[in-house]
Amino acid sequence: MTRQLLHRMVGGVIDLGTVVLYALLLFAVTRGIFAIAEKVVPCMPYLLTKHNHQTPATVNPFQRSYHTDQTDSELIQQILDGNKAALTNLIERHQPFIYNIAWKMTGSTADAEDLTQETLIKIIANLSTFKHESAFQTWAYRIAKNQFLNDQKKAPNIFANSFEELGTRLDAAPNTDLSESEKKEQQEAIREVRLQCLSGMLLCLTKEQRMVYIIGEIFGADHNIGSEIMEISKDNYRMKLSKARKDLYNFMQNKCGLVNKANPCRCHKKVTFATENGMVDAKNLLFNRKEYSTFKEQLAPDADFLVDDSEVKYAELHQEHSYKTKFDKKNFLIKILEDANWRSRLNLN
């Protein structure tokens, strides 16, 4: 039958009945193949219809395009109505961002954990005071900003406390050339040196500069959101961000070989000194771990990074900062959910 149809079509004898008959035959054959495939591979319908699906980037609360299936306001209302699951969802949505800001602010995972816990507890304790006059993320990250800037712990900068001191230490650290095979063998430790050095640079900024830079440059917040969180004017926010960028750029332009090839400092040339002096432990890396992602991988590709062409290279390097995405379920949140005082305070079911 199919042969006859093809013969009639090739021969140019095409009528409406032939077209309809051919279409029905093609539909039947396709449906039959699909039915067989569905029995052999149960997930085939999904694969055939979702083949273009891609995992979306992390929803960035510092972007104006911030949108989620359930809004923060909806979750807050459910929490105030006693819904424990809503509390878990709200915390898990914002915990990674708060933690990773704290991590870059302090350079210490332990201090970041403490600051994150303290910040989230303050946010939870004050949910009933949220008046919806601003976006929840603005209100919540203001609390985070105040917590971080008022924290009295001194960041344990293993490098230096100023750009001048950091530059002096880098110059004093001897350079050791590595062969290509040695570079390959020590590539994990070399990346650790780079990440530690980038973290050290951030810690040379003042606390306020650091906070503005992390929000504006690494998270890509525009001047509207950034100024609201920092509680300053848009002009003042732009000025402070520009100053932080300039300080970092000037240091890296004059010292970092990754930004300016004329500079002699190279991560692979410093790795021997760093490992021999205990700054890098190849068996216990601080930043370069397989379970960590990067800001660049986690944030939406259309983030509004306001940088000049001359600053692109160093901005990209700071986008490679480690980003923690997975958190222990048996954390303080579980303690809150199980604590009778908190359950009563939040009216949790």
- Give the residue, 56 or 101, on which the prediction is more confident: 101
CATH of the domain at 170: 1.20.140.160
Query: Based on the domain organization, do 165 and 37 belong to the same domain?
Result: no
Residue 192 located in a structural domain: yes
The pLDDT of residue 335 is: 62
Confidence of residue 52 (pLDDT cuts 50, 70, 90): very low
Residue range 159-163: average pLDDT? 84
Per-residue DSSP letter, 293: E
* Phi and psi, residue 331, nearest 5°: -110, -165
Number of domains in the chain: 2
Confidence of residue 164 (pLDDT cuts 50, 70, 90): very high
The pLDDT of residue 165 is: 93
Least confident of 35-39, 249-253, 275-279: 35-39
Query: Based on the domain organization, do 135 and 264 belong to the same domain?
Result: yes
Query: Based on the domain organization, do 226 and 257 belong to the same domain?
Result: yes
Residue range 234-255: average pLDDT? 94
Percent of all residues in the chain with a pLDDT value above 70, rounded to a whole number? 68
Query: Based on the domain organization, do 95 and 175 belong to the same domain?
Result: yes
Q: How many CB atoms lie within 10 A of CB 330?
A: 8
Confidence of residue 140 (pLDDT cuts 50, 70, 90): very high
- Give the residue, 46 or 342, on which the prediction is more confident: 342
Domain that holds residue 13: 2-49
Least confident of 23-27, 79-83, 295-299, 311-315: 23-27
Query: Based on the domain organization, do 131 and 203 belong to the same domain?
Result: yes
Q: pLDDT per residue over 289-304, tens digit each?
A: 887 877 777 764 444 4
Query: Based on the domain organization, do 37 and 84 belong to the same domain?
Result: no
Query: Based on the domain organization, do 151 and 281 belong to the same domain?
Result: yes
Residue 174 located in a structural domain: yes
Per-residue DSSP letter, 108: -
Residue range 61-65: average pLDDT? 72
pLDDT at residue 2 is higher than 80: no
One-character DSSP codes across 217-245: IIS---HHHHHHHHTS-HHHHHHHHHHHH
Residue range 160-181: average pLDDT? 92
Alpha-carbon distance of 270 to 256, in angstroms, equals 12
Residue 205 located in a structural domain: yes
